[in-house]
Homo-oligomer: A and B are copies of this chain.
Amino acid sequence: MEDLKGYLAQNKDRYLNELKDLLSIPSVSTSAEHEGDVRRAANWVHDQFVSMGLEAHIHETERHPVVYAQWLDAGPDAPTVLVYGHYDVQPPDPLDLWETGPFEPTVRDGKIFARGATDDKGQFFAHLKAAEAHMKVRGKLPVNLKFLIEGEEEIGSPNLAPYIKAHKDQLAADVVVISDTSMFAEGVPAIVYGLRGLTYFEITVEGPDHDLHSGLYGGAVANPINSLCQIIAGLKDENGKITIPGFYDEVRELTDAEREAWKKLPFDEEGFQSSIGAEALVGEEGFTTLERRWGRPTLDCNGIIGGFTGQGAKTVLPSKATAKFSCRLVPDQEPEVITARIEAHLKASVPEGTRLTVTPMHGGQPVIVNTDSPAVQAARQALSDAFGAEAVFIRGGGSIPVVADFSNILGVPTVLMGFGLPDDRLHSPNEKYNLTSFYGGIKAATLFLDHVANK
């Protein structure tokens, strides 16, 4: 593979300039005012595919287009790889906290700063350059390769599942590769083999049908805020266990091998704690911080509001209070099943004198990937080679819903081979992407194609 490595080394400056071009396009998918920019980014990606010799299309959806590209000349015996990525980005606000403009990509201290640098432009770009390198150096790819790069990931991919369903045959593949996650730490490349799912709720507790004076009525009427707090407080016991009946029934326990492997990871617990500025790390008894984040379900209140919340004091006894909360789920918890159990439990725990409304909002399935598959092994080999350090297997605490879509609709497993770092500040001001990640990512993606072809 020295031919490829040499080519990559010679083109480093060009790669960086191209990434800067892409990062300069403010493809903010949620903003109507950036609709033209989103399309410009789609065109930019499309033109990249065309210039490297792939067949490429811009597919319209109800909002932002999907860029699809393919090269299928590796023959029927070669595996087919589908690369997923997204060219849209989060809004850059708050603008005043950026040291340099969010769409004026700037390199400082070996990092490129811009909105989308790590999420996901800098990452999916690696796979473009991998395909290009193979085409330029060898005139062909070692696998059949497909690209699906969408423009709506940051607004919840509303048109992606319909697109996948409508293009099942075209998207057929042996494996999906996504680079939209982080390495475990600088110099420690990682494959994410599990993701948590989600169920998100809103609950409203109502008492009197209008706000009351707390002096004239206080003491004789149930207070919806107090009731809501009582309900929420009752959802966990003193050991951090969730008390909803049946909540843990389908939880796949961590294996001894996993727990051992995670204990060996170079996890800096103190550094983690100080990075979030918390007094202590607190969670379910009997589990480590990594186990709590990756392998255990959670229940967190994400928002609460009720009564008078302005400056000063108002002695109101409010008529209602609302909270949003979510549970992160782990294999093999099914969002619908857990949602139903939570709803039943909540409805059974309404304090006297109040009414409760539960509104399930959305959910997502947890994911776990077989780490023994040839594609995962190929990714591990490529990452280890590209970053000069053994890639580790980790899980992620968040959700990437498209992984479940690929599994459920296409029946294809996903390899999560991310090049970012935990401090990349995605969705925040001063998002960055280390150049070691950038070049390492291109190298890993390039080598991966050879490794997966040889499995």
Contacts and interface: CB of A to CB of B under 8 A. Distances in A.
A230 B235 CA distance: 10
B321 A326 contact: no
A11 interface: no
One complex includes copies of this chain to the number of 2
A352 B221 CA distance: 32
Given A281-B220, A304-B306, A215 B230 contact: no
A217 interface: yes
A354 B202 CA distance: 24
Contacts of A223: 300-301
A131 B9 CA distance: 101
Contact of A293 (B202, B218, B229): B218
A313 B324 contact: yes
A292 interface: yes
Interface string A200-220: 101000011110111111111
Given A352-B282, A361-B312, A303 B225 contact: yes
Given A226-B300, A314-B302, A323-B225, A353 B279 contact: yes
A230 B312 CA distance: 24
Interface string A297-323: 111111111111100111111100111
B328 A215 contact: yes
Most buried by B among A208, A277, A279: A279
Nearest to A351: B282
A196 interface: yes
Contact of A298 (B207, B214, B277, B312): B214
A37 interface: no
Query: A-B pairs with the 6 shortest C-beta distances?
Result: A209-B277, A215-B398, A233-B233, A303-B307, A282-B353, A225-B301
